[in-house]
Amino acid sequence: MTNNKKLNFNLNFLNTLNQTQDVICANKSEITDNQNNSKNKESIEPILNKEEELQFTKIKYGEGSDINWKPLIIISVVVIISCFIGFTSHQNSVRKNAISQIMNNAYEYLKSGNEYDCNNELGKLSQYGIDADSAKNELIDKYEKEKQRIISDIAYNYEHSKEMFESLKQKYLPILFDNDENKFNQAIEEKLGYKELSLKTVPLPKSGVIHNYTGKEAIAPFEIITQASENNDPLGLYNDNYYIKLVNPYTDKTEIVIFMRGGETKKVHVPIGTYKLKRATGITWYGEEYLFGHNTQYTTSDELLTFKISGQYVEGHTLSLYKVENGNFSTKDISAEEF
């Protein structure tokens, strides 16, 4: 009985010892697994960190993400550039307007002859980096061009509309010419290309011979008939007047000069001889040097006029200075130099 109990105790002890060893082995195995897991985790963590860093970098530059960053970046750049351009454009506009205002003010001073205020105004351009002298030269050129345009307009109206001419003269004589009519007339005449505004009108001579350069006795009758203006002009202000020369046909030397007022008939006497007739026609008389001004019309005869003694009679002529039906004395136009 005793031996059986002892045997059972030994068996139980061995079983307990085996169980303890199994637990120890199991714990040891668990510890080993934990150590291995710890080492694996340590070896995996750097790899995970690199992958996370790579993922962050990709997201930073628009890759590896569901969000498409490129359009957003482009839009941002465009907005920034647009804002910069808008700001720059505004600054340029403000600068341009300020310079324009200064130039306009200076130009008005220049036109009025106020050079002092003109220079002061142009001095403000230095803050914009613009040379005042260069700007003034620019304004002077502009003023001269505008002045020439105005003078051309006045000259045009002098020839086409006397009423408009007088209106422009009253307007610009004080502004451009300091009320100096001589300067005004000279400027207009230079543009016209002939002298007339500065000419002084002269009272019309009486109808008749005003020069006999031959020194011979004037015995041959010469009747000249003129025609009054067709307008209602009782004072004869618009009648054509005539400055007539009887010229030696061989030497072209003037021998007789006759003046005829329009609307009058006059019988004169001239020396015996043969002449070619030249005629200057116009309304306003400026004297023998300028005749009727720029509007003078010049003609010469195709036929010769011969005044002679025939027996007891002196033969002369009657001349109508206007167109008549079946006339027998033709003329043609000539230049002032040919006259």
Tell me which of 37-41, 92-96, 122-126, 321-325 is least confident.
37-41
Boundary-marking domain end, from 56, 76, 94: 56
In order of 269, 273, 287, 295, 307, the CA distances from 314 in angstroms are 11, 11, 33, 37, 7
Boundary-marking domain end, from 56, 84, 102: 56
For residue 201, is it within any domain?
A: no
234: domain CATH number is: 2.60.40
- Same domain for 124 and 233, yes or no, is no
Q: Is the pLDDT of residue 35 over 80?
A: no
Which residues are CB-neighbours of 122 under 8 A, at least 6 positions away? 102, 106, 132, 135, 136, 139
- Same domain for 212 and 321, yes or no, is yes
User: pTM higher than 0.85, yes or no?
Assistant: no
Rounded CA-CA distance 107/84 in Å is: 34
Domain count, the chain: 4
User: Which residue segment(s) compose the domain that 25 sits in?
Assistant: 1-56
For residue 317, is it within any domain?
A: yes
pLDDT in tens, 267-309: 999 999 999 999 999 988 999 988 998 889 999 888 899 999 9
Rounded CA-CA distance 171/178 in Å is: 11
Tell me which of 44-48, 148-152, 213-217, 265-269 is least confident.
44-48
- Same domain for 49 and 77, yes or no, is no
Q: What is the mean pLDDT of residues 231-248?
A: 75
**Phi/psi of residue 279, nearest 5 degrees:** -135, 135
- Same domain for 215 and 304, yes or no, is yes
- Same domain for 243 and 163, yes or no, is no
- Same domain for 218 and 324, yes or no, is yes
Instruction: Give residue 75's pLDDT.
Output: 76
For residue 198, is it within any domain?
A: no
Q: Is the pLDDT of residue 50 over 80?
A: no
Assign 23 to helix, strand or coil: helix
Q: Are 298 and 280 a contacting pair, CB within 8 Å?
A: yes
Q: What is the mean pLDDT of residues 69-92?
A: 72
Which residues are CB-neighbours of 185 under 8 A, at least 6 positions away? 197, 198
Q: Is the pLDDT of residue 22 over 70?
A: no
Pairing of strands 317-320, 220-225: parallel
Rounded CA-CA distance 316/312 in Å is: 13
For residue 202, is it within any domain?
A: no
Q: Are 317 and 305 a contacting pair, CB within 8 Å?
A: yes
Instruction: Give residue 69's pLDDT.
Output: 66
Q: What is the mean pLDDT of residues 23-43?
A: 48
- Same domain for 274 and 227, yes or no, is yes
